[in-house]
Amino acid sequence: MYRWIIFIILSSLSFYIPVFIPEITLISKYLLYISVTFFLFYVSKRKAVGKRLYSKVIIAILLCQLVSAYNAYIFLDQPLIVGIIATFQGFGFIVYLGLVKSKLTLRYAEKVIRLFGILFIIVSIIDRIYPLFGTWAMDTDRGGVRFRLLGLTWVVLCFLMAINKYLEGVNRKGNRLFAFLCFVSIVATVTRQVIGVSLLLGGLLIFRRLSLCKKIIFSGILVFSFFVILPRISLFQKLTSATTEQVSANTHKADIRVVAFYYLTLAPRNINQVLFGMGIPSFGKSKYGNSFDYFSQITGIYREDLGYSGFYYNHGLIALLLVIFLMISSLMIPVPKHLQYLRYFMVAYILMNIASGQIEGNDNIIPFIYALYMINAFRQEKIQLKPSLKSKTL
């Protein structure tokens, strides 16, 4: 069963899109659907752990997604079956319903996180030698070829976990090296938002665990690095230059993400579309999908550029509020020090969704759901320990 969880995650990442396997993206989608169906059927008779409220919220989100496909059929003339199939690209929330019945231990769950961090690092190194995975394109503003690999969200989670393990004194040399390699892989993607969020949350995780004297030293190192060392690094110079040029250009015209925000949230729609969304457009399969694709190419407005706004456009206000509830409520669940990285990852996920579509694709939804399960499962274990401890004292 544990192997099925790994296989589900791999298929959600399209096996990192190896270029030597034709139609791998399409094949991996069907493999994902089949493996998730088998997984849910396999654990269906088991008892769920954790708060049942989360399972109910997940089911409500999935129902909202189906209603959004119906909206696209009724109001935008997209065939219902086509709309439902298009919706599957964001149905990763359903994996939670299997995880809560999987009896997955925290030890194994952390091994899975580490596995996908290692895989991403290996694939990244291979791509630097010879591009065999993912996609790539020339980006002179960011220093040449820019590789795009699915699975970066897993690396952020792995990066924070390695830092936390190091602070807990668990294999300090190994986790220090692993955290460094994860961060190098994050920087190599030259995705400014993810780099900034990872650096901020990783630094904060370290800072809050230090003594006052070490906090002062750590702050001094950060200031020195930011103002003296980083400006001398070529990649940092190019990213800073690209950001400066973008800000300068935006003073003369509206920022494309601001325009996208207003369009995705304020475009005319009826009350049903406000509550349950416009539905995911299926490119090449419907007039709605083709027209939206053409509109995106002409205007540069993409749903994936804005997580919350894009999700609202696709699935409506109710589904968005339910997802935000999952995010915020997970931060209120008490976790011990050795699992603090899960809380920091949730904060990182919340921040990354501001200007990227982290909640719009299964490759990014599943790590969020996975971390949510881990927080919830640990909370349930704490509750179950109380009676046994009490009985021992009696």
Whole-number Å distance between alpha carbons of 100 and 55: 8
Helix 307-331 vs helix 362-393: crossing angle, to nearest 10: 10
pLDDT digits over 312-334, tens only? 999 999 999 999 999 999 999 98
The answer to pTM > 0.85 is: yes
Q: Which of 235, 312, 289, 234 is nearest to 86 (CA)?
A: 289
pLDDT digits over 28-49, tens only? 999 999 999 999 998 888 888 7
pLDDT at 202 over 90: yes
At CB < 8 A and 24+ separation, what contacts does 337-343 make?
337/164, 337/168, 337/209, 338/164, 338/165, 338/168, 338/170, 339/106, 339/164, 339/374, 339/375, 339/378, 340/164, 340/205, 341/157, 341/160, 341/161, 341/163, 341/164, 341/205, 342/371, 342/374, 342/375, 343/375
Whole-number Å distance between alpha carbons of 47 and 100: 8
Quick one: average pLDDT of 350-364? 85
pLDDT at 310 over 50: yes
β strands within 336-381, DSSP E: none
When the pLDDT of each residue in the chain is averaged and rounded to a whole number, the result is 85
- Residue 230 pLDDT: 67
The C-alpha R_g of the chain, in whole angstroms, comes to 22
Q: pLDDT above 90 covers what percent of the chain?
A: 54
pLDDT digits over 231-282, tens only? 666 666 666 666 555 555 554 455 667 777 777 887 778 999 999 999 999 9
Whole-number Å distance between alpha carbons of 66 and 50: 26
- Residue 377 pLDDT: 86
